[in-house]
């Protein structure tokens, strides 16, 4: 089976995303990003279906209902945040309202937390419902690329992250996350960012929960972001990655 190269995926993802511009609307961006999702998913399926991959790489242990990795900070691009907000607003009223309330509730608890503090809180993603992703078809590219070969590692990381970290540092525990899907979906994301760059649209590195909350609470900001009339509020940005380290140097 044909396995597309990184350059092929990046360039085609960029072309798919560029179709939303220059007259970008939230709906056009959503449709363009859906095409990126298709390209990336097909590329990953082609990659893991090759004889070489199947013969040499452990199979993904991820399956519906596990959700152990869905308790951490997730970074998204502007189009991804818009795509999720468009998806939620299209749901039946009661379902959309319940999802929006979960987003607001989680953001109240986690906004501004550095990566380690967000993980330590063990708060599930607002879109994790009964162990399953409730926005699975429009989930972020970073979520799509995270595949584990050993669920017990994921469970241990959730229950006792300090011990797992120590084991990784000592070499007594081996990493279990597959690099291939991360690379595939990162290349798709790079294609999205490339298209934004050439369209003159700034991307800010957004935190999933806070960014989606801003767009649900103020829907007009979707168009404002795309027309560069407004930038995401600072509360929607991924917290400073150096915040976890500051205490070690005092």
For 67-78, what is the mean pLDDT? 94
- pLDDT for 245 equals 56
Q: What are phi and psi of 75, to 5 degrees?
A: -90, 140
Q: Is residue 248 part of a domain?
A: no
CA distances from 72 to 15, 24, 122, 189 (A): 31, 31, 7, 19
Q: Is residue 250 part of a domain?
A: no
Q: Is residue 165 part of a domain?
A: yes
Return the CA Rg of the chain: 18
Say how far apart CA 33 and CA 27 lie, in whole Å: 10
The proportion of the chain whose per-residue pLDDT surpasses 90, expressed as a percent, equals 74
CB 139 within 8 A of CB 133: yes
Say how far apart CA 77 and CA 202 lie, in whole Å: 10
- Predicted structure pTM score: 0.91
CB atoms within 10 A of CB 155: 13
Q: What is the span of the domain harbouring residue 204?
A: 6-240
Number of domains in the chain: 1
CB 13 within 8 A of CB 40: yes
At 207 the three-state DSSP class reads strand
Confidence of residue 1 (pLDDT cuts 50, 70, 90): very low
Q: Token digits for 178?
A: 């597959």
Q: Is residue 64 part of a domain?
A: yes
Q: Is residue 245 part of a domain?
A: no
Q: Is residue 60 part of a domain?
A: yes
Residues 6+ apart with CB under 8 A from 250: none
Q: Is residue 36 part of a domain?
A: yes
CA distances from 17 to 10, 12, 123, 152 (A): 11, 9, 32, 37
Say how far apart CA 159 and CA 71 lie, in whole Å: 11
Summarize pLDDT for 133-182 with one digit per residue, the tens: 999 999 999 999 999 999 999 999 999 988 998 999 999 998 899 999 99
């Amino acid at each position: 089976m044909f396995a597309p190269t990184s350059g092929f995926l990046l360039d085609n993802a960029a072309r798919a995303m560029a179709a939303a511009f220059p007259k970008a609307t939230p709906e056009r961006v959503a449709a363009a990003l859906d095409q990126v999702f298709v390209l990336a998913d097909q590329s990953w399926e082609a990659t893991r279906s090759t004889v070489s991959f199947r013969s040499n790489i452990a199979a993904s242990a991820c399956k519906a209902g596990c959700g152990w990795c869905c308790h951490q900070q997730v970074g998204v691009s502007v189009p991804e945040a818009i795509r999720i907000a468009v998806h939620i607003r299209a749901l039946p009223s009661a379902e959309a309202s319940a999802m929006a309330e979960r987003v607001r509730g989680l953001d109240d608890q986690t906004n501004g937390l550095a990566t380690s503090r967000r993980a330590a809180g063990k708060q599930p993603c607002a879109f994790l419902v009964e162990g399953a992703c409730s926005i699975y078809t429009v989930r972020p590219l970073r979520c799509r690329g995270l595949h584990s070969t050993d669920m017990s590692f994921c469970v241990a990381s959730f229950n006792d992250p300090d011990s797992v970290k120590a084991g990784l540092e000592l070499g007594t525990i081996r990493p279990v996350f597959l690099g291939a899907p991360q690379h595939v979906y990162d290349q798709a994301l790079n294609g999205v960012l490339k298209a934004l760059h050439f369209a003159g649209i700034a991307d800010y590195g957004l935190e999933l929960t806070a960014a989606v909350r801003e767009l649900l609470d103020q829907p007009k900001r979707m168009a404002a972001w795309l027309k560069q009339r407004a930038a995401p509020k600072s509360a929607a940005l991924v917290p400073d990655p150096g915040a976890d380290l500051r205490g070690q140097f005092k």
